């Protein structure tokens, strides 16, 4: 019975990696681009066909945060597409994986055994995909804070 549980858990962990990493979908970049320098900003404007309009004040460019720039319409499309992808991914993760599968993969992905915050990042991923109740049910490794403290920090956005 124990081997069957381990195999099921391994299958769930493999599915989680496939869904969130291997088959990951990115939002469409229509009238928006990533830039982290002036050169990349000009290149993004050029590639999206916005360069001439930008310098003649015909095109207004907005920041979407974290290096994302584009027209208002482009950013709206990007974030709408991102929400649809996230919702679809969440549904697939919830259907094919358990919160414990997610915790195990992310515990090692974030190298929580070396982190001052212990398993906080792994718990954050479980909270993201499954919610608060799932976090409470996960069997934790290498914890250095109570589950109440961890949830309080995660819900504050730390």
Residue 3 shares a structural domain with residue 22:
yes
Q: What is the pLDDT of residue 96?
A: 93
Number of domains in the chain: 2
Do 61 and 79 share a domain, yes or no? yes
- Torsion of Cα atoms, 84 then 89 then 95 then 96, to 10°: 160
In this predicted structure, what is the pLDDT of residue 158?
Answer: 78
**Residues of the chain with confidence (pLDDT) below 50:** 1-7
Burial of 102 (0-12, 13-18, 19+ CB in 10 A): buried
User: Domain check: are 81 and 7 in the same one?
Assistant: yes
Domain containing 120 equals 98-158
Predicted local distance difference test score (pLDDT) of residue 11: 84
Whole-model pTM?
Answer: 0.77
Tell me: do 82 and 105 sit in the same domain: no
Q: What per-residue confidence (pLDDT) applies to 120? A: 94
| Whole-number pLDDT of residue 24 | 84
38 with 108: CB under 8 angstroms? no
Question: Are the C-beta atoms of residues 78 and 28 closer than 8 Å to each other?
Answer: yes
Instruction: Please tell me whether residues 108 and 89 are part of one structural domain.
Output: no
**DSSP H/E element including 63:** strand 62-65
């Amino acid at each position: 019975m124990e081997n069957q549980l381990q195999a099921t858990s391994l299958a769930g962990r493999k599915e989680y990696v496939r869904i969130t990493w291997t088959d990951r979908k990115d939002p469409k970049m229509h009238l928006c681009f990533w830039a982290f320098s002036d050169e990349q900003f000009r290149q993004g404007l050029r590639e999206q066909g916005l360069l001439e309009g930008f310098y003649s004040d015909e095109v207004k460019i907005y920041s979407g945060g974290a290096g994302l720039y584009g027209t208002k319409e482009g950013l709206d499309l990007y974030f709408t597409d991102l929400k649809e992808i996230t919702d679809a991914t969440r549904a697939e993760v919830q259907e094919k994986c358990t919160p414990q599968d997610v915790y195990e993969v992310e515990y090692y992905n974030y190298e929580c055994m070396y982190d001052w915050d212990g398993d906080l990042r792994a718990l954050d991923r479980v909270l993201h995909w499954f919610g608060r109740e799932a976090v409470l049910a996960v069997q934790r490794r290498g914890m250095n804070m109570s589950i109440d403290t961890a949830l309080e920090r995660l819900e504050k956005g730390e």
